[in-house]
Chain A
């Protein structure tokens, strides 16, 4: 279960960011911001070699003491970042991948909505629903 989920646009500004323990939000915002550097690094490294065969799932970006940060980037350079609590019995890679897949699907649904302008913050109830489903259920 994720502690924080963020969607970042191509220009590296956040489209959507939500974290569960809402009091420490700033910390997560900061973490997501720093993880962007790692994402960029990974993109640029692989990009030269393979081109569009780049893996969408970036894997563990950044482990810290408290939590781990996983990244996923779409072909349109929209980045998804999931922050997971370390104390959680480590989620398997497949679970993280499935979370990203769900996020990506939901994101495309939002994009398909003609009333949504790309680059706008995401204000979709369906998307919110999916994100809530993935967050830690701390009540």
Chain B
């Protein structure tokens, strides 16, 4: 070992630790660290000391010498000194401060009761020599001490064939190589000194100590130094092992990893169907000591529903990406297909159920695992990508867990709010929509009361109709289909003097028929068809008058107008009455009631028609005005454009 002058990070400078010691000690430090103030949990420290298999007196001496007794707690420097002293004691040197400076092997600890221990120790009994450790059948629940005992014994077994003090016995080590390889990696990973680490103290470090001498460790350390892995994850270990000798897709989450992620998820959020909030996840992932931009990128990749929280699958994705990154894989630009949440979910469904059963068999059946089973089964029923619809998943879980309806329900609204309805954009959208709608449908403009102070032309025109009214005559209904009206008005306005369109009297007959067609529309509304012929006759006479007043007429009807227009208004009024009585004569054959009814209807129609025509003409006028404005604006724009383009 090189005696480098590397002072321990937090240790006092009075002892100098070499590289390996540094790493090892900081790993142990993380093992024992219980709180963030730097004080080590005395319980953990005591465990560690006991694991060193030194007699209690020496332990007391160590405590005294390193200064913890004086201080009342183990700070980091004290801890490091204590470790050094333990190493000294183990190698037979007296426990004194001077011993600290000696070139000592690393202290060895036996029988540390830590959780991750079992992960590794499950391997030795079953899978020594095999590449793959048994799928994490051991429970990861830290609190389960029963398994510790079981595994501890296996640890002891491990010890037996690699005696603690013997330096590298390569044969026993080779099957363990991949494991110790990761052990050492984990040891290098002094980073993950996180709270959850305390739950899974780095037992592997202990293991490694048993199996390899410091020198061996040294070689391994140099090999694994560039690789920094989060400690206490056999999953990662396994993952690494898998990667080592199988060219598997590194983005594929293995079963063990999934188990591990599940446990980690549970440690953060007991309900597997719930979400981990962003801040919680941030704290958790920050412990991985990856740079923040990388973590940010990982988050972007894994939070597929963009809700600022991680579902279980998203969490697995993120965790896996972090693991991969720690192992040296560059971060992908986009989410690999095997890490897609749907994929993970499908994976989770299949492997987890048998494993869960194993867990149940081996361990105390925990509600969590059964729930996981239920969850997995319920998830299995889902075929498609569930994570894209977290709400759907949520409801499924709700079905599966009637026992705990409340927490998931609490999270449901959370979920819904987190799916970010993006209502902020709605305002602009709505406004855009409104603006888009307005031009096509101009407001109705009930301008019936609008001033008649339109152009004089219109007034002139309407005077004819008005005169018709004044004369007590019914205002002639437009008697035209609605469509041609606009065109007629536009024709009409420039016309100004409809006098050109006098019609010959002989056209009247034709107009009869034509107007019959037009008036049919109104006639049908009014009365039975039996009176059709009569009404048309009646109307035909009046329709001519309509044409007089109605400024809009089709070309064929112009002759009708011409008939009346050149005549002075008096004349107009005369012939119509003349016409009218003549027409009414045949009508008198009919019952007078019907006739009156018809006439009343006719009058009403005529009135409405007159109003409508007035309205129409006014609108047309306004349209013209607007057109003119537009033209002026366009011309201005054209004038301005050459300026703008320069």
Which positions in A face B, CB cutoff 8 Å?
Answer: 53, 55-57, 63, 65, 74-75, 86, 93-94, 97, 100-101, 104-105, 108-109, 112-116, 123-126
Q: Is B517 an interface residue (CB 8 A)?
A: no
Tell whether A56 pairs with B425 under 8 Å between CB atoms, given A114-B282, A125-B333: yes
Docked Cα-Cα span, A116 to B292, in Å, equals: 8
Q: Are B279 and A101 in contact (CB under 8 A)?
A: no
Contact with A along B154-177 (1 / 0, CB 8 A): 000000000000000000000000
Tell me the smallest distance from the CB of A121 to a CB of chain B, in Å.
11
B425 contact set on A, CB distance < 8 A: 56, 101, 104-105
Q: Are B306 and A109 in contact (CB under 8 A)?
A: yes
Choose from B295, B333, B431 the contact partner of A55 (Cβ within 8 Å).
Answer: B431
Choose from B299, B306, B424 the contact partner of A115 (Cβ within 8 Å).
Answer: B299
B:253-277 near A, CB below 8 Å: none
Q: Are B432 and A114 in contact (CB under 8 A)?
A: no
Q: Are B308 and A112 in contact (CB under 8 A)?
A: yes
Query: Across the two chains, which residue of chain A brings its CB closest to B425?
Result: A101
Tell whether A112 pairs with B278 under 8 Å between CB atoms, given A55-B431, A75-B424: yes
Contact with A along B420-437 (1 / 0, CB 8 A): 101011011101100000
Q: Are A123 and B279 in contact (CB under 8 A)?
A: no
Tell whether A115 pairs with B303 under 8 Å between CB atoms, given A56-B424, A97-B428, A104-B425: no
Q: Is B646 an interface residue (CB 8 A)?
A: yes
Tell whether A126 pairs with B300 under 8 Å between CB atoms, given A114-B308, A115-B292: yes
Tell me the smallest distance from the CB of A42 to a CB of chain B, in Å.
14
A–B complex contacts, Cβ < 8 Å, 20 sampled: A55-B427, A57-B428, A65-B644, A93-B432, A97-B429, A104-B424, A104-B425, A108-B420, A109-B300, A109-B306, A112-B278, A112-B303, A113-B303, A114-B278, A114-B279, A115-B282, A115-B292, A116-B296, A123-B296, A125-B300
A109 contact set on B, CB distance < 8 A: 300, 306
Number of A-B contacts (CB under 8 A): 69
A94 contact set on B, CB distance < 8 A: 432
Tell whether A55 pairs with B300 under 8 Å between CB atoms, given A114-B308, A115-B292, A115-B295: no
Q: Are B428 and A55 in contact (CB under 8 A)?
A: yes
B:293-313 near A, CB below 8 Å: 293, 295-297, 299-300, 303, 306-308
Most buried by A among B295, B296, B429, B646: B296
Docked Cα-Cα span, A86 to B432, in Å, equals: 23
B:427-453 near A, CB below 8 Å: 427-429, 431-432
Docked Cα-Cα span, A74 to B296, in Å, equals: 23
Docked Cα-Cα span, A123 to B294, in Å, equals: 10
Q: Known A-B contacts: A65-B646, A105-B425, A112-B308. Give 20 more (CB < 8 A).
A: A53-B427, A55-B431, A56-B425, A57-B431, A63-B644, A65-B644, A97-B428, A101-B429, A104-B424, A105-B422, A109-B306, A112-B278, A112-B306, A112-B420, A113-B296, A113-B303, A114-B278, A114-B282, A115-B299, A123-B293
Tell me the smallest distance from the CB of A92 to a CB of chain B, in Å.
11
Q: Is B281 an interface residue (CB 8 A)?
A: yes
Docked Cα-Cα span, A65 to B427, in Å, equals: 31
Q: Are A86 and B644 in contact (CB under 8 A)?
A: yes
Q: Are A101 and B295 in contact (CB under 8 A)?
A: no
Docked Cα-Cα span, A114 to B276, in Å, equals: 11
Tell me the smallest distance from the CB of B10 to a CB of chain A, in Å.
26
Tell me the smallest distance from the CB of A55 to a CB of chain B, in Å.
6
B279 contact set on A, CB distance < 8 A: 114
Tell me the smallest distance from the CB of B306 to a CB of chain A, in Å.
5
Closest 5 pairs between A and B when the two form their complex, measured CB to CB = A114-B278, A112-B308, A114-B282, A115-B296, A57-B428
A112 contact set on B, CB distance < 8 A: 278, 303, 306-308, 420
Tell me the smallest distance from the CB of B308 to a CB of chain A, in Å.
4
A75 contact set on B, CB distance < 8 A: 424
Q: Are A125 and B427 in contact (CB under 8 A)?
A: no
Q: Are A124 and B308 in contact (CB under 8 A)?
A: no
Tell me the smallest distance from the CB of B305 to a CB of chain A, in Å.
10
Docked Cα-Cα span, A7 to B432, in Å, equals: 23
A74 contact set on B, CB distance < 8 A: 424
Docked Cα-Cα span, A125 to B428, in Å, equals: 27
Docked Cα-Cα span, A116 to B298, in Å, equals: 12
A101 contact set on B, CB distance < 8 A: 425, 428-429
B333 contact set on A, CB distance < 8 A: 125
Contact with A along B397-436 (1 / 0, CB 8 A): 0000000000000000000000010101101110110000
Tell me the smallest distance from the CB of A52 to a CB of chain B, in Å.
9
Docked Cα-Cα span, A112 to B307, in Å, equals: 7
Docked Cα-Cα span, A114 to B309, in Å, equals: 9
Query: Across the two chains, which residue of chain A brings its CB closest to B331?
Result: A125
Docked Cα-Cα span, A104 to B279, in Å, equals: 22
Q: Are B299 and A113 in contact (CB under 8 A)?
A: yes
Most buried by B among A55, A74, A108, A114: A114
Docked Cα-Cα span, A74 to B425, in Å, equals: 9
Query: Across the two chains, which residue of chain A brings its CB closest to B300?
Result: A126
Query: Across the two chains, which residue of chain B brings its CB closest to A110?
Result: B300
